Amino acid sequence: MHTITDSWALAWQLVLKADPELLGIVALSLRVSATASAAGAVAGLLLGAWLAVARFPGHALLVWLVNTLLALPAVVVGLLVYLLLSRSGPLGALGILFTPTAMVVAQSLLVTPLVAALTRRLVLAALAEGGDQLHTLGARPLTAALLMLVHDRLGVATVLLTAFARAIAEVGAVMIVGGNIAGITRVMTTTIALETSKGDLGLALALGGVLLAVVGAVNGAIGLLHWLGGRMPRGAGTNPVPAPAPVPRRPAAPATPGAPLVVAEQVSVRFGQVRALQDVSLTLRRGDRLVLVGANGSGKTTLLRALQGQRPSTGRCTHLALQPEGRLPRTAMVFQRPFLLRLSVRRNVLVGLWLAGVPAAERAARCHDALACVGLLAQAGRPARVLSGGQQQRLGLARAWSLQPDILFLDEPTASLDPGAQREIETLVHAMAQGGITVAMSTHHLGQARRLATRVAYLQGGRLVVERPAAQFFGGTPLPDEAAQFLAGELGWR
């Protein structure tokens, strides 16, 4: 028995002299908890990603169960593992009770629900930001969820560090299934409990200090990751380099001009009780540059998504075969704020090609051509998210253009850009249209519609009010009152 002062002095001596027993206990603790965290990470990340996108009977019950297991007491996990691994248990023949392997099993069961629950929330938040855009690129739900784990690597690292901290600080389960055998299964937490009960505080205090340092380091790493994630990367907001003229893609075979590609008949879309589109009929023809105009909430984005086939609707929306090719048209969509993965500029394009099923042998060449087309080849190795707004929009166009679409849907592609960046995007869109791509886009800028459109359609309250060739829309016979007011600069919903 030592006094508190003697115990502290002994603890410091053990740490400073790197006592072999102390080092052995620390090494075993780190090995067991790291192995358990790795096993729990694999199972928990996959389970959490799947739960974020899966929909099946009993899904809510399974989510509830995973969340409930977050609070499962460690001693209960230890008891369950003991019953499984004991001689009379179903896994007793393995003979791993009172071994480090049993401790790994117990800690893995503890951290897996934690990793799964946190991963599910992380993936849901990321999908809310960019899930629709990955879907338009061809990502299946689980693929999109797993891509979000790559996208939010800092968040995943935080989850894994949290799991490791939970594992290494746990005492009940490893005490039950490990037995606290000296030199075999004694870890920091069980040794602290044993030495304290015996009144030998020197080793307990030394291990307590080491454990506190480990947990502190983990929490410091988590804080560092959050700080790094919140920093503005260098290079963000810099002035963009003007985009060179793109290389247009010419059709491989002479196209049949004016042939219908998409025919919408009495298309309606509802979001709950809100009718976003009401009985819209429209034909998109080959070579069109169709521009949709209207106030916010008029249904422009919903109509583009319905024409692309990405928004469920009533009525009919039919994609017709190209002539003379005889195949259905390929489509791509660029959003007002393109969702870019936290990867390099080049990898964002390559991921889009991979999701679209482009053969691996073609991806590098297509990526190179697409980045050259929009003037971002020199930025290929930079993180995509440090690009300026105009450069990010050009990257979105490059990702879409690399898919070699027949129809390009653009949802207000210049809404948040300065005038110089707007001109760059307009130049790119015009050149892509000249290269044989049919364009359907929405915009609030009537000047942009006049410059780019061959046809203009005005929507209000989910209804298609008028659709005419651009020259007639801006200078032909009088428009319906609603469209005339909008054209004069008045708000359509007043």
The answer to whether 433 and 449 are in contact (CB under 8 A) is no
Residue pLDDT, tens place only, 339-368: 999 999 999 999 999 999 999 999 999 999
Question: Which residue is it, tokens 């469209």?
Answer: 483
Residue 130 CB: number of other CB atoms within 10 A? 21
Query: What is the per-residue burial (b if ≥16 Cβ within 10 Å, else e) of 79-105?
Result: bbbbebbeeeeeeeeeebbbbbbbbbb
Predicted structure pTM score = 0.85
Is domain 260-487 annotated with CATH 3.40.630.30?
no
Cβ atoms within 10 Å, residue 431: 19
CATH superfamily of 4-230: MetI-like (1.10.3720.10)
Tens-place pLDDT, residues 228-267: 666 544 444 444 444 444 545 544 455 666 889 999 999 9
CATH 1.10.3720.10 residue ranges of the chain are: 4-230
What is the location of CATH 3.40.50.300 in the chain?
260-487
pLDDT of residue 416: 80
Instruction: Give the C-alpha separation, 401 to 374, whole Å.
Output: 9
Ranges of residues in the chain whose predicted pLDDT is under 50:
1, 232-245, 247, 250-252, 490-494
Distance CA 123, CA 114 (A): 14
